[in-house]
């Protein structure tokens, strides 16, 4: 299995499965080492203060079992740093190793998956995993295709956050739509003030209550629902990204679309640009007298021009699909008997992925930005530009 590393200079590698360790339970192995998720952050600068508590804060945002909207799976998601951080909790420049053990991998849950391991659940990756890995595919809890895989991403993103904090770059994500119920337009100030004030993390507090009530009603039917997560990046300097294949938009799209439940992405005005005239779509510029720098009257471009950050707010929207595991009978196939069958799997699931996917989006965006920032700083260190361009 390839493709488990993201980044060029700041690189995050993950491994581990949804039920990793469920077949290795033995008195000879401590429970924390049965199995779980691992993250290696390669390229972290030396001298960054990193604690397990810093990483834990981010993981606690996506931890299951925190509300009625979540999966009842009770994972502690406790973080252990085992390399790359030494005296006074400072990074040494060596690869940072992070482990998050699985703890809620009981035999009863494994048995539930075993009962239909040869049946491909609609909406899941079982069919494609069968095609790619045959009889060796991981059938317990969807393996690497499970949302649990994102634990490692959040851990890597937590390290990236500590780097971005030094540069005043802030990444924040939140819910703006759930099952057709839409929030008003959210600005950065409102997003910060109302961040995580409800279980679905919607800054429009009145609408958030309606969203949660709707999800609970959907859950009663055995169904699940999707929605839209919006992500803002504040403080991003102009100049990051490359103008052809490695546009920063493309890198961010790669990072965010690699999240399993994300099925669509928009930057700035997004698909609305299709309805605009050129003069309406273009973001006109002016000299800001207070700062002496270039500013924009509008931000239809979403913070980019030519694939390079323009110093404006980056605004991204992600379409999140419903949780594919539903308690509704659906048609599928049995790979062993080669027959058409009907399936209503009995497993733990989230009624909506919205309450727990936003920290994953934040993490992937942060990783992509740190990687782009390090490339930018290295490139600019080799240039001799007229100072007037730095002052624009």
User: What per-residue confidence (pLDDT) applies to 143?
Assistant: 86
* pLDDT for 119 beyond 80: yes
For 14-29, letters b (16+ CB in 10 Å) and e give: bebbbbbbbeeeeeee
Q: Give the pLDDT mean for 309-320.
A: 97
User: What per-residue confidence (pLDDT) applies to 292?
Assistant: 87
User: What per-residue confidence (pLDDT) applies to 32?
Assistant: 83
Rounded to whole angstroms, how far apart are CA atoms 226 and 320? Answer: 5
Burial class (CB in 10 A: 0-12, 13-18, 19+), 47: exposed
Radius of gyration (C-alpha) of the chain in whole angstroms: 22
User: What per-residue confidence (pLDDT) applies to 283?
Assistant: 97
> What pTM value is reported for the model?
0.94
How does residue 104 score in pLDDT terms, banded at 50, 70 and 90?
confident
Rounded to whole angstroms, how far apart are CA atoms 354 and 211? Answer: 10
> Long-range pairs for 283-289 at CB < 8 Å and ≥24 separation?
283/312
Q: What domains appear along the chain, each with residue ranges and CATH number?
A: 5-268+303-390 (3.60.150.10)
C-alpha distances (whole Å) from 187 to each of 164, 176, 177, 206, 208 are 21, 11, 15, 16, 16
CB 325 within 8 A of CB 349: yes
CB 174 within 8 A of CB 202: yes
CB 315 within 8 A of CB 266: no
List pLDDT tens digits, range 88-102. 999 999 999 999 999
Could you give the count of Cα atoms lying within 13 Å of 355 in the half-sphere of its Cβ? 26
Q: Beta-carbon neighbour count of residue 287 at 10 Å?
A: 10
Rounded to whole angstroms, how far apart are CA atoms 215 and 217? Answer: 5
CB 176 within 8 A of CB 183: yes
* pLDDT for 195 beyond 80: yes
List pLDDT tens digits, range 42-91. 999 999 999 999 999 999 999 887 777 877 777 889 999 999 999 999 99
Residue corresponding to tokens 């819910």:
175
Q: Angle at the Cα of 126 (from 121 to 128), degrees rounded to 5?
A: 130
* pLDDT for 152 beyond 90: yes
C-alpha distances (whole Å) from 105 to each of 15, 113, 260, 336, 369 are 17, 12, 22, 26, 35
């Amino acid at each position: 299995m390839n493709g488990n590393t993201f980044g060029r200079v700041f690189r995050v590698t993950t491994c581990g499965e949804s039920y990793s360790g469920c077949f290795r339970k033995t008195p000879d192995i401590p429970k924390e080492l049965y199995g779980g998720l691992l993250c290696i952050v390669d390229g972290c600068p030396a001298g960054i203060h990193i604690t397990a508590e810093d990483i834990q804060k981010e993981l606690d945002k996506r931890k299951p079992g925190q509300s009625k909207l979540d999966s009842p799976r009770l994972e502690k998601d406790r973080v252990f740093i085992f390399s790359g951080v030494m005296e006074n909790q400072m990074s040494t420049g060596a690869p940072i190793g992070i482990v998050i053990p699985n703890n809620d991998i009981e035999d009863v849950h494994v048995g539930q998956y075993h009962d239909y391991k040869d049946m491909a659940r609609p909406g899941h990756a079982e069919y494609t995993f069968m095609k790619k890995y045959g009889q060796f595919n991981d059938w317990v809890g969807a393996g690497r295709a499970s949302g649990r895989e994102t634990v490692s991403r959040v851990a890597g993103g937590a390290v990236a956050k500590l780097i971005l904090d030094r540069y005043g770059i802030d990444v924040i994500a939140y819910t703006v739509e759930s099952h057709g119920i839409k929030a008003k337009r959210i600005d950065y100030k409102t997003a910060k003030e109302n961040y995580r004030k409800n279980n679905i993390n919607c800054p429009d507090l009145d609408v958030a209550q309606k969203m949660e009530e709707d999800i609970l009603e959907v859950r009663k039917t055995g169904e699940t629902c999707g929605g839209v997560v919006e992500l803002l990046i504040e403080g991003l300097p102009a100049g990051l990204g490359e103008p052809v294949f490695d546009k920063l938009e493309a890198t961010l799209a790669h990072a965010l679309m690699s999240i399993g439940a994300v099925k669509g992405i928009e930057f700035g005005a997004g698909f609305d640009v299709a309805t605009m005239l050129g003069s309406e779509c273009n973001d006109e510029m002016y000299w800001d007298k207070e700062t002496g720098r270039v500013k924009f009257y509008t931000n239809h471009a979403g913070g980019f021009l030519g694939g390079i950050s323009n110093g404006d707010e980056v605004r991204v929207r992600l379409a999140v699909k419903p949780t594919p595991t539903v308690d509704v009978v659906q048609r599928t196939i049995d790979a062993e008997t080669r027959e058409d069958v009907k399936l209503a799997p009995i497993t733990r699931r989230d009624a909506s992925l919205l309450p727990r996917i936003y920290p994953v989006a934040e993490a992937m965006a942060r990783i992509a930005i740190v990687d782009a920032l390090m490339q930018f700083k290295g490139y600019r260190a080799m240039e001799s530009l007229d100072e007037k361009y730095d002052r624009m």
